[in-house]
Structures are given as C-alpha cells and as structure tokens.
Amino acid sequence: MKVSCLKCMNCGKEYKDAPDRYVCDDCGIDGILDVIYDYNSINITKDEISQSKDFSLWRYRKMLPIKDETQIPPLQVGWTPLYKSEKIANETGIKNVYIKDDGRNPTASLKDRASAIGIAKALEAGAKTICAASTGNAASSLAGFAASAGIKTVIFVPKRAPKAKIAQLLIYGAKTVIVDDTYDRAFELSVEITKKFGFYNRNCAYNPFLVEGKKTVAFEIWEQMGFKTPDRVYISIGDGCITSGIYKGFYDLIKLGLSDKMPRIIGVQAAGCNPVEVALKTGKFVAQSGNTIADSIAVGIPRNRLKAMRALKESNGTCISVSDDEIKAAITDLPRSAGVFGEPAGVTAYAGFKKHSNEKNIDINEKVVIIITGNGLKDIESAISVCDIPTPVAPDSKTIENHVKTII
Ligand SMILES: *Cc1c(COP(=O)(O)O)cnc(C)c1O
Ligand SMILES: [Zn+2]
C-alpha cells in the first residue's frame, strides 16, 4: 500500500490508514495527522506524467492517497494555467514571475483540489452526509463536488461570508447554517455536530487527506515550469492548509527522486488577522479576533498552524503580513498587470510579493510563483469598493462623444 500510516504531528503516534480517521486519539484536535507514504511503492516518472492525457489533478493519481478502485467525483479540477508575466517582470525587475490562476477551478477557488480528494475519500468511507465549516470557499466547493457525487452536505458559514459564496451553497442545494458569529465559532460547532450526527467531516485542518489534494498545486507548478521547482512561492494563509499542501507536494517530489529542491514558501497574512506571522516570529501562538477585507483568510485560530509553520520553517521561508490597503491595491494591480482577477484573499499573496519586491527582498534572478487562490467574482462588493462606478450618461451622440474625451 502506498500510504503506510497516518502519523500524529504532535506526539508521533501512528495510525492505520482509514478514510474516517481525522485526528490523534491522545492529542485530540492538536493531533493533526500527516499522511505518510511508502515512497518505494510509488513508481512514477516524468515521462509518464508528461504523457498523461488527463488534464486535471488526477494525472497525479499515483501520488494521491486513494485506492485504484476509488470512485472519483466527475468535476474537472486542477491543471489551472501558470502565466509568466513580462509586465510584472518589467515593473519589478524580477525576471521570472509566474501567476498560478487557481480561480479557474470548477467552483472558482483552490479549495476544489481539497474537495476532489475529500469527496473521493467520503465515497470510499460510504458517507451519506458530509459536514464542514468554512469562511465560504471550502463550503461552496464542497457543495459543488458533493452535488456532483450525490452526497448530502450540511455547511456552517459565518454571517460575514460574501453573498456570492452563500449563493453557490444554496444553488448546489447544501443545507446551510449561517452562524451568527465568526468562522472560528462556526468551526467548533461543525465539529460538535459532526460527532453528534455521525457525519463525514471535511474540515481541511481536521481531515488529513485534504492537504493531499491541495499539494497537487505544487506538482502542477513543477510540471508547468518544465519539471523544475521555482525558488519561491507566495501563498496567502488562513487555516494554513494550502501552505501545508504546497510543502507536502514539493516534499513528495524530492522523496520520489523527481526534484532535488524545496522552494522557499512565503506565507502572506492580512495585518488585521496575522496569528501565524506572530507565532512564527515570537514562538508563541495567540488567538486573534482580527478582521480584514480578505474574508477567506480572516481566521483568528488557524487550525492547521502547526503544519503550516513547519512548512514555512523547513522550506527556509517566512510569513509576512500586508495591510488591507495593500490588498485593495492588489485587487486592481494584478488584473491590470496580468489579466487575472482575484478575490481579496486571492490577491493577498500578490500584495506580499509586491511588498518584498519593493523592499528589494527578492533577487532579480529568482523564479517566483504567486498563487491566486480564488476568483474575483466571488466577492463583488470588495471589488466594487476599490473602483468608481461611472454615472449613467445621456444617450445622445454629442454628450457621449464629449464624455469619452474626458475619460480617455
Ligand atoms: C481558503 C482560502 C485561503 C487560505 O487557505 P488556508 O488553507 O485556509 O490557509 C486563501 N485564499 C482563498 C481564496 C481561500 O479560499
Ligand atoms: Zn498525538
């Protein structure tokens, strides 16, 4: 078997691989598990990968924790574009800057990578109902994938989740509980209810298999760069699962002998909610109740912080934060430089990159990848808030002509 065990990050205790094993019995919710592979049993070559006609994350199926006979959900996820931006290179002087547009997934966020695996594991476990809490995107993603696989969902979201994300839930038919409180409280309630009703749990920080889905973004970056690992990857951090996934993906490639390098992973948080940055710099975790325009990363108690901090340390990376003003600037800067429109948390990594580049913190020869985690249409109110909506103009040719002269 390619998965040799599930190992507690906290105490090291090992558990047998099972689709419904979420955390360590001894450590509880602090005992997040790692999926440990027997790398010798995975036979895979660059040639074999490059010949795959499956343009989705399932092209890496051999490197994922699912059985040969496992049913996979039908929605196409992954193999999102990686754009090299000459314009950003010209603006910053950094010669090789790549934008990975993960807003191009079926429900428009990187969370779809986790949902694809989550639903495959739920089908393995014979689950009938899945339960999760989310700031919005994990929920809308799960709702879409569950609908495609014929599984019911019960979803907890905080009251501040943007309307477009709630619309996705309702449209996909998820049983939706809008908790009149923060994401952190919605998370606790979802864990409680999952236990009480015996649902299958899809919370990313909690369910060790979901990070395995998110790691495919690293595989794709490596393959799309010609089977080469970049020098740096910028990623926004909420719960820390994507950060952990990126590390795991590049770690797998090294263990499989397909790469010999770990990129520096640079986590970016919002200054209004930066518990991972604080914990990394002071060695002490303090829960926050902070706030930011970037709702997807407004996470005061990041559930996967230990894994994320390990990823940042072991990759010789770091965690920085950017202000809401910097995030707002990135909402328009990125599309105007690269044509990619991201939601606030989606462009936060780009804001972090800009900050590092302004501080001359990046060598101009480094190959830098910035992951855009969610599409801009997910949060129209924030997008509109950084633009001026033009007032309607009288519909006669002369007025319009004069008007056009004033705006060009
Ligand atoms: C969930 C999410 C993040 C943060 O990912 P974590 O795994 O929680 O750190 C960032 N951006 C978007 C758009 C997201 O939906
Ligand atoms: Zn443990």
Ligand number with the minimum distance to the CA of 10: 2
Closest residue to atom 7 of ligand 1, CA basis: 241
Residue nearest to atom 2 of ligand 1 (CA): 296
Ligand 1 shell residues, CB under 6 Å: 109, 111, 137, 236-243, 296-297, 343, 345-346, 373-374
What pLDDT sits at residue 30? 84
pLDDT at 204: 67
Nearest CA to ligand 1 atom 4: 238
Instruction: State in Å: Cα 284 to ligand 1 middle.
Output: 22
pLDDT of res. 352: 98
For the residues of 16-77, what is the DSSP string, one character each?
A: ---TT--EETTTEEEEEEEEEE-GGG----HHHHHT----SGGGGGGGSS--TT----SS--
Share of the chain above pLDDT 70, in %: 99
Give the Å distance between the CA of 205 and the centre of ligand 1: 11
On whether residue 132 sits in a domain, the answer given is: no
Between CA 234 and CA 88 the distance in angstroms is 15
Instruction: Check if the beta carbon of residue 205 is closer than 8 Å to that of residue 125.
Output: no
Asked, for residue 360, whether it belongs to a domain, the answer is yes
Count the domains in the chain. 1
In a domain, 364, yes or no: yes
**Residue 174 backbone dihedrals phi, psi, to 5 degrees:** -70, 140
Residues in the chain: 408
* Ligand 1 pocket mutation pick from 110, 140, 183, 295 by most atoms within 8 angstroms of CB: 110
CATH number of the domain encompassing residue 289: 3.40.50.1100
Cβ atoms of 266 and 318 within 8 Å: the answer is: yes
pLDDT of residue 120: 93
Q: What angle do CA 405, 389, 270 make, to 5 degrees?
A: 125
The confidence score (pLDDT) of residue 393 equals 96
Q: What is the pLDDT, as a whole number, of residue 184?
A: 87
Atom 13 of ligand 1 has which residue's CA nearest to it? Answer: 374
> Measured in angstroms, how far is the CA atom of residue 242 from the centroid of ligand 1?
7
Which ligand is closest to the CA of 302, given by its number?
1
Instruction: Write out the two tokens for 354.
Output: 């800009």
Task: Of 237, 210, 215, give the one whose Cα is nearest residue 130.
Answer: 210
Q: Which amino acid is at 184?
A: D
Does residue 204 fall inside a structural domain? Answer: no
Classify residue 64: in a domain, yes or no. Answer: no
* Domain assignment of residue 351, yes or no: yes
Low-confidence ranges of the chain (pLDDT < 50): none
Q: What is the pLDDT of residue 1?
A: 66
Cα–Cα dist 127/129, whole Å: 6
pTM: 0.95
Does 253 reside within a domain? Answer: yes
Report the C-alpha gap between 209 and 343 in whole angstroms: 26
Ligand nearest to the CA of 13: 2
Could you tell me the strand order of the sheet in which 152-158 lies? 175-179, 152-158, 129-133, 200-201
Q: At residue 330, what are phi and psi to the nearest 5 degrees?
A: -70, -30
Residue 233 lies in a domain: yes
The residue range of the domain holding 338 is: 82-106+210-385
